[in-house]
Structure 1
Amino acid sequence: MRSVLSCLALAAATLLGASSALARAFPTKPIKAIVPFAPGSATDQIGRAFANEMAKTLGQPIVVENKPGVNGMLGAADVAKATPDGYTILIGTNSTNAALKSLMKQLPYNQDTAFAPLGYPGSVPLIVAVNNDVPAGNLRELVDMAKAKPDSVTFASASTSQLVSTEMLASMAGIKMTNVPYKSGPAAMTDLIGGQVNLFTADFAVMLPQVKGGKVRGLAVTSTKRSAAIPELPTVNEALGLKDYELIAYFAMFAPAGTPADVVAKLNAAINAAANSKELQDKFAPIGFVVEPGTPQALGERTRLETAKWAKAIKDAKIEPQ
């Protein structure tokens, strides 16, 4: 029996040693980063920029793969079931790692336990905008228009933040609008410009160039303070005389649960180095992106709090799980 126990202890020590050696050597090959939204989306733009900067720190390329669908659920599910070795990571968002739990009746993974937090790149507010032919010069006039003809105003959504931000606005303003779902933000933007939908609330990366280019009319920003990127737009609270409206999109990176702590630490260091890059900050400052480097533990706590926050927002907006 003593001999058997000795053999088991030796085997365990060998496996532990091999695991530690693997972590020390990481990475020895390219890393795959899954973006669970379409090319051209804010998640895609920011994810690719971070991947490029992280590769400089890690000494290996990071290959970005887009897998859009079901508010990011399809891409997140792929990462959740991947081998936990650090070679598959998720460019996650408030959708994949906070809101989906309340938006879906059932997920193909446990949102609370399927992922190892890596790092928090940052956040960006949204802009509420309408097609140029909509006869509303400001958000108050749009609300009055929707009150006069309930459900006549249509709005696009291609992500959780886009859907919840608009439904929450409608709930707090006491109006009803008709949702038109899209598979991607760029596709929704095309239809907003073309007049197929009246309203679209989207992050600055998708919306700001179109507002500044005169393709659509911006009405408000969804943060509690005006954005330096477009200070002429009021906040939703200012425009409607509200106090508690706020909804921002954020970006966070995750690996499959069980990824070795040393690997998580290396990926976190690369994320933070990217966030501190002046080149990256200058690139995204015009779209209101605010970097927030931190620890994996801080992201884990933020994710817990954000999950509760989004659950309340979804409940208050009376959005039924799909």
Structure 2
Amino acid sequence: MTSIRRRSFAVTALALACGALPLAAAAQAAWPSKSITLVVPFSAGGPTDVVARVLGAAMTKTLGQPIVIENKTGAGGTIAAAYTARATPDGYTFLIHHNGMATAPALYRKLAYKPLNDFEYVTQVVDVPMTLVGRKDLPAKDFKELQAYLKAQGNKVNLAHAGLGAVSHLCGMLLRQATGVEMTTVPFQGTAPAMNALVAGQVDLLCDQTTSTTPFIKAGSIKLYGVTTPTRIKALPEAPTLDEQGLKGFQVVVWHGIYAPKGTPKEAIDRFGAAVRTALQDPAVATRLAELGAQPASEDKLSPEGLRQWLAQETQRYDPVIKAAAQFAD
């Protein structure tokens, strides 16, 4: 090879190498280049699923790729969480989960993941009040009458929940502890089937999120006995709190956070989190969530670090609560 040809070859190689750098950078900046899976630990139609689908539709417009909802149910959300923890950390798998991320360590002796170690934190999403509701033909007209009814009927009363580890399960445990009545619990595979059973009059009571119960309450299909927040809520302004009706200190609020497999690229986490926050500011999304009683999380919880700190705080909070209610757990 002549010196001229060698110089020409070297120049060409250098040009190709330099040209490859912007191409590689462009490839990295192309996220997302395909659909993104948002794993939901509970059944379709349930409260977490509703939040995920409302957000997902708006986020699709922001990110330019479909947000595919994948329902992986069972074991109080631990199956979905374990699945996400094991997923390839490429920025195309995320998990939306509620308080169950904080309660799982106390509820389950063996977990296939560690909530505080095996995930990247993205953002908190919304806070959702809970409601105590009953079948339409339950004799008690208000919570005072319900308390008397519970004491008279005892374990003849059927209390539904959406499965071990679901927030409705936790709320039910706390209700039984607070009232001192050991009702018969009836587990279902998700909120939707539990609600269907309540509407059909097959069970007596259910404690679940406003995102699921509000439409049925407003339709008159079920009876509302109170909300679980310290103050009344905008979605159901006439509904008294359980606290003001004598169940002092009774408070259960559901919060939802978004997580990714450990090692997920920071760019994907940041952009996905930003898309969530943009969706929460969308007037149509805000209106829909407000109708269901859900409120966007406070600003300090919308960062990855804010979610991490909140999860750690809630894990410490729920551990003694669950242990104290263990005699009612099933």
TM-score by length of 1: 0.89
Matches within 5 A, 1:20-35: 23-35=28-40
Quick one: which amino acid aligns to residue 96 of structure 2? I
Quick one: which amino acid aligns to residue 132 of structure 1? K
Contact 1:23 1:263 in 2 (8 A): no
Of 28, 43, 46, the residue aligned with 1:38 is 43
Q: Distance in 2 between matches of 1:279 and 1:178?
A: 41
The DSSP-based 3-state class of the residue aligned with 2:310 is: helix
Contact 1:32 1:88 in 2 (8 A): yes
Q: Tell me how many residue pairs correspond in the alignment.
A: 304
Contact 1:84 1:256 in 2 (8 A): yes
Contact 1:23 1:260 in 2 (8 A): no
Q: Which residue of 1 aligns with 2:222?
A: 216
Of 301, 312, 315, the residue aligned with 1:307 is 315
Q: Distance in 2 between matches of 1:131 and 1:240?
A: 22
Q: Distance in 1 between matches of 2:158 and 2:228?
A: 19
Quick one: which amino acid aligns to residue 255 of structure 1? A
CA 1:82–1:241 in structure 2 vs 1: closer, same or farther (change >3 Å)?
closer
Q: Distance in 1 between matches of 2:186 and 2:327?
A: 14
Q: Which residue of 2 aligns with 1:127?
A: 131
Q: Distance in 2 between matches of 1:314 and 1:128?
A: 19
Q: Which residue of 1 aligns with 2:290?
A: 285
Deviations 1:190-211 (A, max 9, x none): 1112221110111112111111
Of 234, 240, 250, the residue aligned with 2:240 is 234
Contact 2:173 2:328 in 1 (8 A): no
Quick one: which amino acid aligns to residue 40 of structure 2? V
Q: Distance in 2 between matches of 1:319 and 1:47?
A: 34
Quick one: which amino acid aligns to residue 211 of structure 1? I
Q: Which residue of 1 aligns with 2:213?
A: 207
Q: Distance in 1 between matches of 2:309 and 2:118?
A: 15
Quick one: which amino acid aligns to residue 202 of structure 2? Q
Structure 2 residue 155 is matched with structure 1 residue 147:
no
Structure 2 residue 184 is matched with structure 1 residue 184:
no
Structure 2 residue 167 is matched with structure 1 residue 161:
yes
- Residue 24 of structure 1, CA deviation: 3.0
- Residue 133 of structure 1, CA deviation: 2.1
Quick one: which amino acid aligns to residue 116 of structure 1? E
Q: Which residue of 2 aligns with 1:297?
A: 305
Of 116, 120, 129, the residue aligned with 1:116 is 120
Contact 2:177 2:328 in 1 (8 A): no
Q: Distance in 1 between matches of 2:176 and 2:25?
A: 52
The DSSP-based 3-state class of the residue aligned with 2:33 is: coil
Q: Distance in 2 between matches of 1:276 and 1:115?
A: 26
Deviations 1:233-287 (A, max 9, x none): 1111111251x21101121111001112222111111111111111100111111
Moved over 4 A (4+): 17-23, 319-322
Q: What fraction of aligned residue pairs are identical, expressed as a percent?
A: 32
CA 1:23–1:147 in structure 2 vs 1: closer, same or farther (change >3 Å)?
farther
Contact 1:156 1:199 in 2 (8 A): yes
CA 1:110–1:217 in structure 2 vs 1: closer, same or farther (change >3 Å)?
same
The DSSP-based 3-state class of the residue aligned with 1:151 is: helix
Quick one: which amino acid aligns to residue 91 of structure 1? I
Q: Distance in 2 between matches of 1:25 and 1:115?
A: 23
Structure 2 residue 88 is matched with structure 1 residue 83:
yes
CA 1:304–1:21 in structure 2 vs 1: closer, same or farther (change >3 Å)?
farther
Structure 2 stretches lacking a partner, 5+ long: 1-21
The DSSP-based 3-state class of the residue aligned with 1:124 is: strand
Q: Distance in 1 between matches of 2:245 and 2:111?
A: 37
Q: Distance in 2 between matches of 1:321 and 1:112?
A: 24
User: RMSD value over aligned CA atoms?
Assistant: 2.0
- Residue 319 of structure 1, CA deviation: 5.5
Structure 2 residue 204 is matched with structure 1 residue 198:
yes
Deviations 1:102-133 (A, max 9, x none): 11111121222111111111111111011122
Contact 1:90 1:253 in 2 (8 A): yes
Q: Distance in 2 between matches of 1:321 and 1:114?
A: 27
Q: Which residue of 2 aligns with 1:62?
A: 67
CA 1:49–1:319 in structure 2 vs 1: closer, same or farther (change >3 Å)?
farther
Of 263, 276, 280, the residue aligned with 1:275 is 280
TM-score by length of 2: 0.87
Structure 2 residue 266 is matched with structure 1 residue 258:
no
Q: Distance in 2 between matches of 1:176 and 1:321?
A: 10
Bigger Rg, which one: 2
